[in-house]
Structure 1
């Protein structure tokens, strides 16, 4: 399973879920969907915990994090109409005001196309992915392998 940044692709997962659909095995399909959601939900919880030690704006933005699920993938969504600043709280800002301060109380930029900060992007979500990602991928793959062996015993 190649992992590039924060995106992990489980080769054959879509074919597996289609085979489950053809076999009428909705119970295992639902378990795959739940396994997808659990990864996103655990990352969301880790990011919220990391944001708890940051600025008020970042804590508030982290409250907008939510895990979503489909049969073939899970995702983490951030921001809302009430928290349109969520991405700025996660990545910071490049733009300076006339006084030289970072715009609207954001932290310094930690996004892409930045030279000089080598810790990686983000303040709470992306660092949580870097810290917890490999462990969660292993847990996820163990569960998927178990579900595959239950659905299609040899």
Structure 2
């Protein structure tokens, strides 16, 4: 398993799920899907908890966090049509009003390395990924190893 920034890549996962399909092991395929969802759901819950200590806008935006479930990857989605401000709540804003205040109540920009802020992007989701990512990847690795051992015992 390799981690690349905000993504973790499990080499051979798609081949593994295809082998499970060929073997007709529906239960193990569902376990892989559930393991993906558990990781994404834990991340979303942790990010919501982090946002609980931030501004009202950020707390509201964090309620749009949701985990997605597939066999080959886990993802956390942020934003919705009802909360169009979520990206601004997560990353802040560079835009300023005539008085110099940051536009629409957003926090200062934390969108990328070019802003001069060295702590990394984001206010609640991305900091949670940095804080909890390695732990969640380790849990995921253990789940996949257990599923492999049960599906293809030697």
Q: Any stretches of 5+ residues in structure 1 without a counterpart? A: none
- Mapped partners of 1:130, 1:24: distance in 2: 37
- Structure 1 equivalent of residue 44 of structure 2: 44
TM-score calculated relative to the size of structure 2: 0.98
- Mapped partners of 1:138, 1:145: distance in 2: 11
- Mapped partners of 1:32, 1:70: distance in 2: 9
Retained in 1: the 8 A contact 2:68–2:76?
A: yes
- Structure 2 equivalent of residue 148 of structure 1: 148
TM-score calculated relative to the size of structure 1: 0.98
Alpha-carbon shift at residue 131 of structure 1 (Å): 0.6
- Structure 2 equivalent of residue 20 of structure 1: 20
- Mapped partners of 2:148, 2:126: distance in 1: 30
Deviations 1:34-87 (A, max 9, x none): 000000000000000000000000000000000001110111111111100001
Deviations 1:120-152 (A, max 9, x none): 100000011111110010010011001001101
Alpha-carbon shift at residue 115 of structure 1 (Å): 3.7
C-alpha RMSD of the superposition: 0.8
Alpha-carbon shift at residue 114 of structure 1 (Å): 2.2
- Mapped partners of 1:83, 1:50: distance in 2: 18
- Mapped partners of 2:115, 2:93: distance in 1: 14
- Structure 1 equivalent of residue 101 of structure 2: 101
Matched, 1:80 2:80: yes
